[in-house]
Amino acid sequence: MERRKAIKNTALFIGATLSSSALGGLLQSCQRQDRLSWTPLFFREDQSLVVSELAETILPKTETPGAKDLKVDIFVDLMFKKY
């Protein structure tokens, strides 16, 4: 029985460790980015405008914010640059 308890505690410890590092990375990446001072890192300016319009077509503004309001184009650019 002690072995089961040890395995369970080890799994909980590893899960908590991984979760805390993932949460730290998520919070660090949630920096406010002003659209006026932002320049694309991966796309050219014209490509960034296409990504922005395409994202707005997929996620239009209704009662909820649209893709431009959520700055999806900035997120896509950062993901393409990173990966």
Please name the residue ranges forming H helices in the chain.
2-29, 45-58, 72-82
67 close to 58: Cβ distance less than 8 angstroms:
yes
Q: Tell me the CA distances in angstroms from 35 to 29, 70, 75, one per residue in order.
A: 16, 11, 12
Residue 14 and residue 25 share a domain: yes
Residue 24 and residue 53 share a domain: no
Q: What is the pLDDT of residue 27?
A: 59
Residue 47 to residue 67: CA distance in whole angstroms: 16
pTM of the model: 0.58
- The domain tally of the chain equals 2
Residue 50 and residue 79 share a domain: yes
Q: Structural domain of residue 75, as residue ranges? A: 33-83
pLDDT digits (tens, 9 = 90+) for 9-66: 888 888 777 676 666 666 556 666 666 778 899 999 999 999 999 999 999 999 989 9
Residue 48 to residue 54: CA distance in whole angstroms: 10
